Amino acid sequence: MADRVPSVSPTMAGGPLDVVVRPRAERSRPNLVTLLARFCRKKPLGAAGGVLMLIMTLTAVFADVLQTHDPIATDAAQTLAPPSHDHWLGSDHLGRDIYSRIVHGARVSLIVGIASTLLGSVLGGIFGLLSGYVGGTTDLIVQRVLDILQGLPLLVLALVMTASLGPSIPNVILAISIPIIPRASRVIRASVLSIREMQYVEAARALGLRHARIAFRHVLPNTIGPFIVLTTAQLGSAILVEAALSFLGLGVPEPYPSWGRMLSVSAAEYAQKAPWLVLFPGIAISLAVFGSNLLGDALRDTLDPRLRGA
């Protein structure tokens, strides 16, 4: 992709231009370990959240190694067994091992959570970039349409979406990502609006760069801070919505072990006889969301002080 550069200064074409526009790239950066150590010292709660998320990720990746039983194998002799040496967290009404199901549930929750958050944030980010950079009527129309989507509670919209798409993992991901779009677009648009007025963007425009190049190469990379903050914050609510949908029987279908679904099957009937059916999956959901909330808060304070307290 060749840039249109004024013929008066042929030496500025290509490489040097990017250096002028992004002087930060020239500076030497502190290495990752130093940055991490500083983050842990300044934000101990955030670091704790990071550790929780790391544990969850490792659990999801190594679920097959960590399991003690087949998560979907039923065992008629072991129905509603209390926590014991064999079944660490007890077993459910079909004799399935709760611990193994929770370990595998981490996989489903994490995949659905991350995929829907990323999909929603990327789509929302594109709308936000377009809306903020182009401005004018485009901005007005995009924002009004997104207002409509935002007017409905996240869960209600996701509910109607999954109901009409049918329960399957890709559909659940899609249903949760749609309500995230307007939220993501708001955040990215706001930061694009301020970046658009910066001098280096003006300089790029004066040099005759095409709008698409300015928007994607020079404006977009600078929204990465708010973007990271946004995705960490949304991850928690995406996991919660997945749990609620699965609880209602409209989310992740059988036989996948999902934390929300584990609560729905056991909930009313067996809770009194076997409280471990209710306690452990709920604790797993809460810890996962707690971790992403802690991390999200700390990242927000570190990366984007303007959003503090929002």
Partner 1 sequence: MKTYIAQRLAIAILTLLGMSMVIFALLRLAPGDIVDILFSAAGYVNPSEKQAILKELGMDRPYWVQYLEWLKQIVTGDLGKSYRYDLPAWQIIRPLIPVTLELAMLSILVAVVLGVPTGVISAVKQDSMLDYMLRVFSLAGLSMPSFWLGMVIILAMVSWLGWIPSLTYVKPTENFPVHAVQFALPALAVGYRSSALIMRITRSSLLEVLREDYIRTAWAKGQAGRIVIWRHALKNAILPVVTVIGIEFAFLIGGLVVTETVFNLPGVARFLVQAILWRDYPVVQNLVMFIAIIVILSNLFVDMLYGWLDPRVRYG
Compute the distance between CA of residue 30 and CA of residue 99 in angstroms, rounded to an integer.
Answer: 41
Q: Which is nearer to partner 1, 207 or 250 (CB)?
A: 250
Q: Residue 198: helix, strand or coil by DSSP? A: coil
Closest distance to partner 1 from the beta carbon of 231 (Å) = 17
CB-based contacts of 246, cutoff 8 Å, min separation 6: 172, 252, 258, 259, 260, 261, 264
Instruction: Compute CA distances 61 → 111, 158, 242, 252, 268, whole Å.
Output: 10, 27, 19, 19, 32
Closest distance to partner 1 from the beta carbon of 43 (Å) = 12
Closest distance to partner 1 from the beta carbon of 230 (Å) = 16
Provide the binding-site residues for partner 1, judged by CB under 8 A.
45, 144-145, 147-149, 151-156, 159-161, 163-166, 236, 240, 243-244, 247-250, 260, 263, 267, 271-272, 275, 278-279, 282, 285-287, 289-290, 293-294, 297, 308-310
Q: Which is nearer to partner 1, 130 or 239 (CB)?
A: 239
Closest distance to partner 1 from the beta carbon of 205 (Å) = 32
Instruction: Compute CA distances 205 → 6, 25, 180, 202, whole Å.
Output: 11, 20, 32, 5
Closest distance to partner 1 from the beta carbon of 257 (Å) = 16
Tokens of 160: 């109607």
Q: Which is nearer to partner 1, 117 or 222 (CB)?
A: 117
Q: Which is nearer to partner 1, 219 or 244 (CB)?
A: 244
DSSP E strands: which ranges in the chain?
Answer: none
Q: Which is nearer to partner 1, 166 or 221 (CB)?
A: 166
Nearest to 162 by CA among 233, 258, 229, 269: 258
Compute the distance between CA of residue 167 and CA of residue 176 in angstroms, rounded to an integer.
Answer: 12
Compute the distance between CA of residue 300 and CA of residue 121 in angstroms, rounded to an integer.
Answer: 16
Q: Which is nearer to partner 1, 192 or 289 (CB)?
A: 289
Closest distance to partner 1 from the beta carbon of 83 (Å) = 16
